[in-house]
């Protein structure tokens, strides 16, 4: 019998959530996602240190100095990892904008253009790149503008329907609702364990997927941030699922049956109301959702902190 990973691939595009090239080769995902934490972790590993060292050496003669030099080196590290990943996966790689730009509309657009420019200068077609941006109001509006320019975006740190709806209405290519972090919040708040269809993180993605298919939005839904394989199996049929190496291994080592749980035709007939969303409504709905407000802010803080650690690592090499 096929293992769970093989079964899952029949219903859903599997994406590797890692900066580890060997894990990608082993599990053969369609796409790959990275974030500041994953790149920082990989950069500190001996087998990937040469990527960082090369970026440092190459940029030393760029004429830049100080913070501008460090920023340029990090951009080139991100692109170097992305290029290596694209040699392994047949699809796309997600590369993240600095989380400290999460509330900076213009700064996000400028950085995304820079990253796409670096990829294109390296001979990589922009269709293989997703620029990751936090699902703040500013981030979503910036991403919508970028989409108009042909720069596809992946809206990350997503915890609520209002964030998802704003993305769909903005014509965003793909969103990454965070299953595991929603689960973490509710487990901490209630003291309850959640499994299968009772998991609030799973329910969040199901609601978003149903809303999109019901109202005819083309934005891709990619469940992310998993804590266990139960969450993954419950979302079989989602457009994409991005999964870390440990859980990919568990799926590969299990032969338990996987059934399609999300279905576009069934979603189209669901009883769900359409949100009338503008900026004021978005901000109010997000504010009313304590979990989404807290987890979005926490995620931005953590990614921003890891960018600072990455800068320190680069400065030490300089």
Catalytically annotated residues: 132
Distances (CA, A) of 46 to 173, 233, 263, 317: 35, 34, 43, 14
Tell me phi and psi for residue 222, to 5 degrees: -125, 100
Strand intervals (E) in the chain: 13-17, 31-33, 93-96, 129-134, 153-158, 174-177, 220-223, 240-243
In angstroms, the CA 265 to CA 89 distance is 30
> Can you read off the two tokens belonging to residue 301?
């803080």
Alpha helices by DSSP H, listed for the chain, are: 4-11, 21-27, 36-43, 49-59, 66-86, 105-121, 137-148, 161-169, 179-190, 200-214, 229-233, 245-252, 264-268, 279-288, 290-317
Both ends of the chain: CA-CA distance in Å? 53
> Can you read off the two tokens belonging to residue 25?
């080769």
CB count within 10 Å of CB 43 equals 21
Q: Are 234 and 223 in contact (CB under 8 A)?
A: no
> Can you read off the two tokens belonging to residue 152?
């596809």
> Can you read off the two tokens belonging to residue 40?
């920082």
Q: Are 175 and 240 in contact (CB under 8 A)?
A: no
Which residues, at least 6 apart from 105, have a Cβ–Cβ distance to it below 8 Å?
138, 141, 142
Measured torsion, CA atoms of residues 229, 235, 239, 242, in degrees rounded to the nearest 10: -20
């Amino acid at each position: 019998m096929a293992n769970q990973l093989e079964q899952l691939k029949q219903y859903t595009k599997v994406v590797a959530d890692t900066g580890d090239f060997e894990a990608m080769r082993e599990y053969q995902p369609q796409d790959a996602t990275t974030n500041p934490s994953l790149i920082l972790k990989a950069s500190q590993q001996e087998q990937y240190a040469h990527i960082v060292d090369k970026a440092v050496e190459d940029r030393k003669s760029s004429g830049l100095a100080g913070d501008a030099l460090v920023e340029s080196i990090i951009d080139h590290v991100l692109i170097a990892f992305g290029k290596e990943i694209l040699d392994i996966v047949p699809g796309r790689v997600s590369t993240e904008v600095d989380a400290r730009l999460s509330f900076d509309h213009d700064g996000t657009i400028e950085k995304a253009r820079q990253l796409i420019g670096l990829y294109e200068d390296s001979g990589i077609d922009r269709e293989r790149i997703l620029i990751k941006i936090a699902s703040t109001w500013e981030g979503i509006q910036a991403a919508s503008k970028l989409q108009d320019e042909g720069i596809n975006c992946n809206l990350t740190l997503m915890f609520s329907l209002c964030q998802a709806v704003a993305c769909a209405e903005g014509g965003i290519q793909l969103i990454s609702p965070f299953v595991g972090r929603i689960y973490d919040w509710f487990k901490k708040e209630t003291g309850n364990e959640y499994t299968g269809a009772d998991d609030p993180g799973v329910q969040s993605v199901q609601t978003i997927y149903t809303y999109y298919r019901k109202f005819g939005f083309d934005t891709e839904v990619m469940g992310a941030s998993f804590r266990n394989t139960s969450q993954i199996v419950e979302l079989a049929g989602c457009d994409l699922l991005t999964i870390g190496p440990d859980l990919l291994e568990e799926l590969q080592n299990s032969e338990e049956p996987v059934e399609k749980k999300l279905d576009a035709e069934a979603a189209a007939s669901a009883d769900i109301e359409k949100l009338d969303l503008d900026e004021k409504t978005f901000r109010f709905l997000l504010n009313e959702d304590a979990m989404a407000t807290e987890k979005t802010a926490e995620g931005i803080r953590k990614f921003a902190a890891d960018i600072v650690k990455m800068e320190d690592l680069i400065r030490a090499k300089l």
